[in-house]
């Protein structure tokens, strides 16, 4: 999945917490969020705050789908509330290989992504 495809898919599935997201989909979207936040912050703190608020739900949704790809519940994101160790654990979960077979559905494919 490319950078642009990832952004399109993540915004088209704005509040879709079902299914799975590939590693490339998740990490390209994270890169977009980081870069856009830096640019928005350089322009205005208010703009940066608005951007962060506007991308909060898509970020949670794609992280949930990414955790589904590793056969974990999206509720595992709450572990990030634990200082330091929680962040390390959630990053570890998000970088893992997909698990097959998986209770959250079929693995994301490039054909399925181009149809959305």
What's residue 109's pLDDT?
Answer: 67
What's residue 114's pLDDT?
Answer: 44
Cite the DSSP H helix spans in the chain: 3-12, 23-43, 45-54, 56-69, 85-95, 110-115
What's residue 105's pLDDT?
Answer: 77
- Dump pLDDT digits (tens) for 81-97: 999 999 999 999 999 88
Percent of the chain with pLDDT strictly greater than 70:
93
Please state the pTM of the whole predicted model: 0.84
Per the structure, the complete domain to which residue 107 belongs is given by 3-115
Distance of CA 40 to the CA centre of its chain: 20
Number of domains in the chain: 1
What's residue 97's pLDDT?
Answer: 87
Do residues 67 and 94 make contact, with C-beta atoms less than 8 angstroms apart?
yes
What's residue 99's pLDDT?
Answer: 79
Residues of the chain with pLDDT under 50: 111-116
């Amino acid at each position: 999945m490319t950078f642009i495809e990832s952004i399109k898919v993540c915004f088209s599935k704005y509040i879709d917490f079902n299914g799975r997201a590939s590693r490339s989909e998740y990490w390209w979207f994270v890169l977009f969020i980081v870069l856009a936040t830096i640019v928005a912050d350089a322009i205005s703190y208010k703009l940066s705050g608005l951007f962060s608020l506007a991308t909060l739900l898509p970020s949670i949704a794609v992280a949930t789908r990414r955790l589904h790809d590793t056969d974990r519940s999206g509720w595992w994101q709450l572990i990030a509330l634990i200082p330091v160790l929680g962040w390390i654990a959630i990053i570890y979960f998000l970088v893992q290989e997909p698990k097959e077979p998986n209770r959250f559905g079929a693995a994301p494919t490039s054909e399925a992504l181009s149809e959305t």
